[in-house]
Amino acid sequence: MSEKQKVVLAYSGGLDTSIIIPWLKENFDYEVIAMIGDVGQGEELEPLREKAIKSGASKVYIEDLKKEFVEDFIFPTLKAGAIYDGKYLLGTSFARPVIAKRLVEIAEKEGAVAVAHGATGKGNDQVRFELTIKALNPHLKIIAPWRMWNIKSREDAIDYARARNIPVPVTKEHPYSMDRNLWHLSHEGGELEDPWNEPGDHVYLICTPPHKAPDEPEYVEIEFEKGIPVKVNGIKYDGVKLIQTLNEIGAKHGIGIVDIVENRLVGIKSRGVYETPGGTILYTAHGILESITLDRDTLHYKQHVALKFAELVYDGKWYTPLRKALSAFVDSTQENVTGRVRLKLYKGNCIPAGVESPYSLYDKELATFGDDSGVYNQKDAEGFINLFGLPLKVQALLREKRKGLDS
């Protein structure tokens, strides 16, 4: 009797992946291996091992990916200043490639012929998983059940699970789809599908709603070295602990709540509510530090790069030559992004309260409204303005000339 072929499933213990294990066995007769990627979900993952086995998995891997997630995905995106649709800090977007990377590695280790994921055919995650898999091992078969099975809704999926005695973390009465990791928590579905509906306080599981936040502000200091945050309030942390620390501080003050109708890659507009307290603090502080350490041309060009970088991350194109090239550019801009930023946190707001850097390009003597006769000759601006405005002057003279000819 020959051994069954193997498939490795990116398993979360949620509704979709819970029913995919028996579905794969029923429809492909594969041996199913489950892989759980720990990207900082903030929950005990070990119980999922037993759940996966009871659902039919032959083996379960629980992989701690937090350090790799922070150092190889979060920090490069932070340094780029990449924000999608002006608000979204890409929490789910850059978590998928780190999980898919380990999925491929385990599939190769186990000699599996296929990998599977629980992303729907409407969303972005299917693209993020599959582009990473194709980039790292183009020979692996990819199985995406949501594009294949007869299950059409979350209600159908719940019925399928109940028929097989598989416990699921959602019900028909509470149909929220949530994704949590070290960086953020996202909420979709239910009443949030109507953009007219304001999220109730019950939606927020990390952040204090701003109107319930403390009445007194709190100051926090972030220290960066070459664009990477290394200290909070003078204490040095590794990347994982630093983000956890800022999450706790920021959540208390309602920092990082975003309500957005975003443009999915597949062309659908989707309403999501995100909680990203630590990430919001870091993006704000990093931007403030860049304002005094980057020259005008570099800063403005980098803002263009940030838009493209965000699109690449959102679209699942992490392992592309362009993303790699843009990261090289970003790294070069961060050589002098070293210094300290102080922020005041108050009822959902990150308010600048101080910045300093040994590489600061800000010169008080040049910027002052006081006596600057020793360092800046204001008369020099006259020649610059004459040359800068010459094309406008020529156009105005031409209009006068044509007007005279027409009269």
> Kindly report the CA angle at 208 between 281 and 97, in degrees rounded to 5?
50
Annotation-wise, does 120 bind a ligand?
yes
Annotation-wise, does 380 bind a ligand?
no
Residues 137 and 125: beta-carbon distance below 8 Å: no
Annotation-wise, does 40 bind a ligand?
no
How far, rounded to the nearest angstrom, does the alpha carbon of residue 241 sit from its chain's CA centroid? 18
Annotation-wise, does 17 bind a ligand?
yes
CA distance 190 to 65: 30
Any idea what DSSP says for residue 74?
I
Annotation-wise, does 287 bind a ligand?
no
* Token pair in block for residue 54: 């009871």
Which secondary-structure segment (H or E) carries 339?
Answer: strand 339-346
Annotation-wise, does 18 bind a ligand?
yes
How far apart are the two ends of the chain, measured CA to CA in Å?
Answer: 100
Annotation-wise, does 283 bind a ligand?
no
Annotation-wise, does 15 bind a ligand?
yes
Annotation-wise, does 14 bind a ligand?
yes
Which residue among the candidates 96, 102, 154, 180 is catalytic per the annotation?
96
Annotation-wise, does 407 bind a ligand?
no
Which residue among the candidates 55, 125, 315, 323 is catalytic per the annotation?
125
Task: Mark whether 96 is an active-site residue.
Answer: yes
Annotation-wise, does 177 bind a ligand?
yes
Task: Mark whether 297 is an active-site residue.
Answer: no
Which residue among the candidates 55, 102, 154, 177 is catalytic per the annotation?
177
Annotation-wise, does 186 bind a ligand?
yes
Please provide the DSSP assignment of 80-134 as one string.
Answer: HT--BTTTB--TTTTHHHHHHHHHHHHHHHHT-SEEE----TTSSHHHHHHHHHH
Annotation-wise, does 338 bind a ligand?
no
How far, rounded to the nearest angstrom, does the alpha carbon of residue 229 sit from its chain's CA centroid? 16
* Strands 59-64, 114-116: pairing kind: unpaired
Annotation-wise, does 124 bind a ligand?
yes
CA distance 195 to 161: 30
Annotation-wise, does 223 bind a ligand?
no
3-state secondary structure of 223: strand
* Token pair in block for residue 120: 């729907």
CA distance 351 to 209: 17
Q: Tell which residue, 339, 387, 396, has the closest CA to residue 362.
A: 339
3-state secondary structure of 218: strand
Q: Tell which residue, 241, 261, 244, 249, has the closest CA to residue 208.
A: 249
Task: Mark whether 407 is an active-site residue.
Answer: no
Annotation-wise, does 12 bind a ligand?
yes
CA distance 274 to 287: 20
Q: CA of 65: how far to CAs of 37, 134, 161, 176, in Å?
A: 6, 20, 29, 25
Binding residues for L-citrulline: 88, 93, 124, 128, 177, 186, 262, 274
Residues identified as active-site: 16, 96, 125, 177
Binding residues for ATP: 10-18, 118
Binding residues: 10-18, 88, 93, 118, 120, 124-125, 128, 177, 186, 262, 274
